[in-house]
Amino acid sequence: MTESPSNPTLDQLLARCALADRAAFAALYAATSAKLFAVVLRILKNQELAEDALQDVYIKIWHSAADHHAGKGAVMTWMTSIARYRAIDMLRRARSGIKVSTGDVDTVDAQQSPGGGPAELAMQQADNSRLSACLDELDPPRRACLVLAYCDGYTHDELSVKLGSPVGTIKSWIRRGLQALKACLGGEDD
């Protein structure tokens, strides 16, 4: 967003939200909701849960708008972290058996686009098979880090505790695992 009186920045919108400006909140929502929805949907893998999470995220943003300080980071980064942590919290509750919603967190089918023809489904299956084969080529720690981080929403600190390795090692495993996946999938010449 470029700064002008008719097109305020996210910083300006958030500052106005801190003053309970509902119009600024509506503008902030319009400018950011698609990205935040993508974040929670990627983690939760369920449309209904992602919608619930997004609502919770914006309630938190509305109530915490005054807590954000521009010097500590970009508004979008702050909002994305709120979204990510809310989605991870919902995922943890679902894992521990606490009822979060009627949807099934593990169901990926919920976000598949309707009307995918047989050719599109075949391509998706081929891509999934290639990814699965490439993941199988990784050593167990790298594979575990990637799956837990990208599919289950674990943070580096959580992975460190879960796998009993230092955070620096976890970061290296993830970075090297991603590099190996990229090479395996044929993306090394980007």
DSSP string for residues in 56-125: HHHHHHHHHGGG--GGG--HHHHHHHHHHHHHHHHHHHHHTT----SS-TT--GGGSPTT--HHHHHHHH
CA dist., res. 42 & res. 3, Å (int): 30
pLDDT at 25: 95
CA dist., res. 39 & res. 87, Å (int): 8
pLDDT at 117: 53
pLDDT at 102: 33
Q: Report, as an integer, the average pLDDT of 131-156.
A: 81
What domains sit in the chain, N to C, each tagged with a CATH number? Answer: 10-95 (1.10.1740.10), 120-184 (1.10.10.10)
pLDDT at 114: 39
pLDDT at 123: 60
Question: Chain centroid to CA 129: how far?
Answer: 23
Report the 3 state secondary structure along 98-111: CCCCCCCCCCCHHH
Report pLDDT digits (tens) over 8-57: 789 999 999 999 999 999 999 999 999 999 989 988 888 998 999 999 99
Q: Is the pLDDT of residue 122 over 80?
A: no
What single DSSP character describes residue 149?
H
Lowest mean pLDDT among 21-30, 73-82, 94-103, 105-114: 105-114
Beta carbons within 8 Å of 48's beta carbon, 6+ residues apart: 101, 102, 103, 110
Comparing 136 with 106, the larger pLDDT belongs to: 136
Beta carbons within 8 Å of 142's beta carbon, 6+ residues apart: 173, 174, 176, 177, 180
